[in-house]
Amino acid sequence: MATTLDNGLLDDILHQVRPLIGRGKVADYIPALAEVSSNKLGIAICTVEGDCFSAGDAAERFSVQSVSKVLSLVVAMGLYDDDEIWQRVGKDPSGQPFNSLLQLELEQGKPRNPFINAGALVVCDMLQSRLSAPKQRMLEVVRRLAGVDDLVYDTRVARSEFEHAARNAAIAWLMKSFGNFNNDVMTVLQSYFHYCALKMSCEEMAKTFLFLACQGRAPHLDTPVITPLQTRQINALMATSGMYENSGEFAWRVGMPGKSGVGGGIVAIVPHEMSIAVWSPELDHAGNSLAGIAALEILAGRIGRSIF
C-alpha cells in the first residue's frame, strides 16, 4: 500500500540511503566542486496542490550543473520555433558519457539530445544569438520560477570550469567545424559555465521545476512558462536522456522523468502530481548522484508512483 507523503517519510528515506555515502565519488574534474562535503544529503518535494516537504540538507545551496540544461532548453523554446531547435539538436538518447566527442564526429556535429554537453552547448549558442544578456536572462527566469530574488551564480565554480574547459571547448569547436555553432566559442562557454554554476537548494529546485508537473504552469505565476505540449516533450526527453547512458537504468529503477548534475543534484517529475529534488554529491560512474538515485527509487516505491 502506498505511504502518505510527509516530512517523516523523507527523513526515513534519507536515513535508509545514508549508508551509501562513501560508495561514490565527488566530481573532481571541476576542482571547485571537489571541495563540497560528501556527507551532504537533502530532499524536497513540491506538490501541485501547493504542499512542500523536505528533509536533511534541503535548504543548503549547491551547484546545479547539468540540471540547468533543462532551463536553457526552456528559455530556447520561448525564443525559437520547434524546427529551428530540432534541426540542430536531436531527441534521442546518446548511450554515451555526457561529455563524449565520439558520436558527435560520426553524426556530423548534431548532438543526440539537449541534455548532453554538446546539445546544451548548441542550445546556449542559440540563446547567445537571440539575447543581448543571456546570463542575466537565465538568472531572471530562474529567480521568477523559484520565487527567490537572491539566486546567483557561483563565480568561483564558473571560473574553475573555464580553467578546465578543454573538453567542452573541443565539443564546441567540433560543432563549429560542421557549421552547427554560430557564436564565439569562448563567449558561449562562459554563459554555459555560469548556468552550470547556478546555486540552488533542493527546496528551491523542487519549486523551480514544479511547472513540469503542472502542464507548463508554475502555480505561483500568472503566465505559463511553456505550453502543455512542450511540457510533455521536455518530460519525454528527461525520461529518455536525463541521466545520460544510465537513463534506461533510471527509468527501470525510478520510473520518472529526471535530470542530474555533477554537483550531485537530481530533479524528478511525477507529471500532474509533484516535483522532487535530491542532493548527495557523490556520483556513480555515469556522473549521477548515487544516493540521490537510491532515494528516488525508495520514494517511488513507497508512494507507489511511476510513469510506466
Binding residues, by number, are 66, 117, 161, 168, 192, 244, 262
User: Is 244 a known active-site residue?
Assistant: yes
Q: Which is nearer to ligand DON, 53 or 162 (CB)?
A: 162
Residues 81-100 that bind ligand DON (CB under 6 A): 98-99
State whether residue 44 is helix, strand or coil.
strand
The residue assigned the cell 528551491 is 204
Among 54, 66, 72, 94, binds ligand DON (CB under 6 A): 66
245/239 Cα distance (integer angstroms): 12
Q: Catalytic: which of 40, 54, 64, 66?
A: 66
Q: Does 196 interact with ligand DON (rule: CB under 6 A)?
A: yes
Written as one string, the DSSP assignment of 160-218 is: HHHHT-HHHHHHHHHHHHTT---S-HHHHHHHHHHHHTBEE-HHHHHHHTGGGGTTT--
Closer by beta carbon to ligand DON, 111 or else 287: 287
Q: Is 72 in the site for ligand DON (CB under 6 A)?
A: no
Tell me whether residue 29 or residue 228 sits nearer to ligand DON (CB atom): 29
What CA–CA distance (Å, rounded) separates 261 from 242?
A: 9
Site for ligand DON in 239-298 (CB under 6 A): 260-262, 287-288
Annotated active-site residue 66? The verdict is: yes
User: What letter represents residue 48's amino acid?
Assistant: V
Number of residues forming the site for ligand DON (CB under 6 A): 13
How many Cβ atoms sit within 10 Å of the Cβ of residue 136? 11
37: left (phi over 0), alpha (psi -120 to 50) or beta: beta
**How many secondary structure helices (H) and strands (E) does the chain include?**
13, 9
Which residues are within 8 A (CB) of 88 and not within 5 positions of it... i.e. 6 or more apart? Answer: 110, 122, 126, 180
Query: Which residue's CB atom is positioned nearest to ligand DON?
Result: 66
Query: Is 262 designated active site?
Result: yes
Catalytic residue, candidates 40, 54, 192, 275 = 192
CB of 242 to ligand DON, least distance (A): 9
- Residue 81 CB, shortest distance to ligand DON, in Å, is 27
Q: Does 113 bind ligand DON (CB under 6 A)?
A: no
306: annotated active-site residue:
no
Contacting positions for ligand DON (CB under 6 A) = 65-66, 98-99, 117, 161, 168, 196, 260-262, 287-288
Query: Which residues are annotated as catalytic?
Result: 66, 69, 192, 244, 262
